[in-house]
Amino acid sequence: MSLLVVGSVALDSVETPFGLKEDILGGSATYFSTSASFFTPVKMVAVVGEDFPQAHLDFLKGRGVDLEGITREKGRTFRWKGRYGWQLNEAETLDTQLNVFQSFSPKLPESYRDAQFVFLGNIHPELQSQVVDQVKGPKLVAADTMNFWINGSRPSLLKTLKRVNLLFVNDAEARQLSGEHNIVRAARAILGMGPQRIVVKRGEYGALLFDQEHIFACPALPLADVFDPTGAGDTFAGGFMGTLATAGRVDGEVLRRAMVMGSVMASFTVEKFSLERLREVERNDIRVRFSEFKRLTHFEELGPLDG
């Protein structure tokens, strides 16, 4: 079934101890779509500037991403500038320029309006709501957010959350949003705000899926080399939503598989810089890594004679 994403498409410039990389393809919708594209075609809604290279659009198109919802506006593309120190595992943000995203007003092409699975990337809650206005009866509306909106646009976010079926947050965001320190209490509080399900992303500690009655815990793959965690959360969401859209349904078994697939995809992203690893990954790599996750977690139930 169809999968729609609205989010940022960016040009990133990154300083490393080994040199400067400028204007490389980035953005939350980019990571999401590249990840999800292994599972299902993705319909993207975003805005880029006059300076956005055609080559990047060709890359996305080559991945089966539907670009009809991407508009090219006068002005510059959303830009992010970061710097990696010798730690090499997290970038320090030097500069963020919204540019054309400043006045972004998502308009869904007609062909997008019956998307069954919708991912509202991390943008202003009001814009997220506008996208929900334009889809007709999706099976699942999922959303991501960040401390910037939780703190700065809380009333708008709370309104939008009433229309969201599944929210992705990290530990800190869950705590900020709910006012609870304990993660179970935080999740329960957020479940009371609209979403029927919450995914709490915990970086190297894995992820938790909550609904009113159940919790599912999925680990992150322990890796000796975590090169660049940028985009891992969006990659996770892409693998997750891609799995749901492929299955065409939302039940316990599919949700669990979606959690693991999200973790599988994120485990690739962090292994190399930016989108490099995702560009190389093949479907068989995904199968193999999914099996690694099974081996990482599997244990037998107690037998009747066991203590």
The residues of the shown chain that bind a copy of itself, judged by CB under 8 A, are 38-39, 182-185, 188, 202, 204-206, 208, 214-219, 222-226, 243, 246, 253, 256-257, 259-260, 283, 286-287, 290-291, 294-302, 306-307
Residue at 302: amino acid letter: L
Q: How far is the CB of 54 from a copy of itself (least distance, A)?
A: 30
CB of 256 closer than 8 Å to CB of 47: no
Which residues, listed in sequence order, are joined to residue 66 by a DSSP beta bridge?
43
Q: Tell me whether residue 243 or residue 274 sits nearer to a copy of itself (CB atom).
A: 243
Q: How far is the CB of 257 from a copy of itself (least distance, A)?
A: 6
CA pair distance 198, 154, nearest whole angstrom: 18
Instruction: Residue 162: count other Cβ atoms within 10 Å of its Cβ.
Output: 10
Q: Tell me whether residue 4 or residue 200 sits nearer to a copy of itself (CB atom).
A: 200
In this structure, the dihedral spanned by the alpha carbons of residues 114, 115, 119 and 120, taken in order and rounded to 10 degrees, is: -20
Q: Tell me whether residue 159 or residue 256 sits nearer to a copy of itself (CB atom).
A: 256
**CA Rg value for the chain:** 19
Q: How far is the CB of 215 from a copy of itself (least distance, A)?
A: 5
Q: How far is the CB of 287 from a copy of itself (least distance, A)?
A: 6
3 state SS for 253-265:
HHHHHHHHHHHHH
DSSP structure class, residue 15: E
Q: Tell me whether residue 59 or residue 216 sits nearer to a copy of itself (CB atom).
A: 216
Q: How far is the CB of 270 from a copy of itself (least distance, A)?
A: 12
Q: Tell me whether residue 152 or residue 248 sits nearer to a copy of itself (CB atom).
A: 248
